[in-house]
Homo-oligomer: A and B are copies of this chain.
Amino acid sequence: MKPAPEAPRPPAPRLMPRPSLGDEVYELLLAEVIANRMAPGDRLSVDGLARQFGVSQTPIRAALIRLEAEGLVVKKHNSGYSVADQLSATRFRDTYDFRLLVEPATAAAAARHATPAQIEALRTATLRMGKLSSDTKANYSRFAVADAEFHGQIAEAAGNEIVRESLHRLYTHMHLFRLRYHATVAVDAVNEHDAIVAAIAARDARGAETAMRAHIEASRRRMEPCFNET
C-alpha cells in the first residue's frame, strides 16, 4: 500500500507483526480528517480511495466503517460515505452541558487521585500551551491538540476510564470545529488551565472543580459567537 500524502514507508522488519491495511488506512484517513484537509460533506469514495492508496476496497471499507462508528463520517446506503457535518448549535449546547456535568467533578477527582508524575505532566502541558499562544493558524492547531490532551490527562488522573473515553470522543469533534471556525488562541484559556493545575497540585478538589467550571463556561462564551458568524 502507498500512503496518500507522505513519503513511502520503509519495509517492515520480518520479526515485527505487520499491521493490517485496514488499520493503516484508518489512521491515514483519521489524520486527514483531524488535519482538516476535508470539509463537511466531502465525498469519500471507496473506489477512489482504493485507487489513491493503491489498495483494494476491503481495507478502505474497514476504515470507513470505523470512522463512521466514531461519528466522523456518515454513510448513505448504496451511495457512499461523506465527511460528517460540523457541530450544530444544538450539539454545541449539548457538548458544553455535558462537559459542565462531567469535567468539574473530574477535576476534583484528579485533585484527590493524581500521582506526582501526572501533576508534573499537567504542568508541562500548560507550559507548552503557553508557548503556543500566538495567533498563527498552525499554532492554533497545535494548541487545540494540546488542549484536548490536557483535558484527557485530567480525566486520566481522575481514574475513570469511561469519562476519559467519553471526553475523547467529544474532543475529536470539537477539535474539528475549532480548526474550521475558530482560530484565535485564547490567552485566557492558558491562564484558566494554570488555575486548574494549581488547584489539582494543591490537592484542592473544590478549587479544581470551580476552576474547571469557570474554564468551561469561559470556553463556551469564547466559541458561541462562531454560531452567528457562519
Residues of A within 8 A of B (CB): 17, 19-20, 23, 58, 61-62, 65-66, 69-70, 77-78, 90-91, 94-95, 97-98, 101-102, 105, 160-163, 166, 170
Partner of A77, one of B19, B61, B65, B105: B19
Contact between B98 and A17 (Cβ–Cβ < 8 Å)? no
Contacts of A17 in B (CB 8 A): 77-78
With a CB–CB cut-off of 8 A, which chain B residues contact A58?
58, 61
**Chain B residues with CB below 8 A from A70, complex form:** 69
Across the interface, which residues of B come within 8 angstroms of A61, CB to CB? 58, 62
Question: Copies of this chain, how many?
Answer: 2
Chain B residues within an 8 Å CB radius of A163: 94, 97-98, 101
Residues from chain B with Cβ under 8 Å of A97 in the complex: 160, 162-163
The residue in chain B whose Cβ has the minimal distance to the Cβ of A93 is B160
Write out the residue numbers on chain B whose beta carbons fall within 8 Å of the beta carbon of A102. 98, 101-102
A176 to chain B, nearest CB (A): 15
Give the top 10 A-B pairs by smallest Cβ distance, nearest first: A69-B69, A94-B162, A65-B65, A98-B162, A94-B160, A166-B166, A94-B161, A101-B105, A97-B160, A101-B102
The chain B residue with its CB closest to the CB of A103 is B101
Bound form: Cα–Cα A163–B95 in Å:
9
User: Which residue of chain B is the closest to A57 with respect to CB atoms?
Assistant: B58
Residue of B nearest to A26 (CB): B65
Report the Cα distance A115→B23, complex, angstroms. 45
Give the contacting residue for A69; candidates B19, B66, B94; CB below 8 A.
Answer: B66
- Min CB–CB distance A183 → chain B (angstroms): 25
A19 to B78, CA, bound (A): 9
Specify which chain B residues have a CB less than 8 angstroms from the CB of A91 in the assembled complex.
161-162
In-complex Cβ contact of A160 among B77, B78, B98, B170 (8 A): B98
A170: nearest chain-B partner, CB-CB? B162
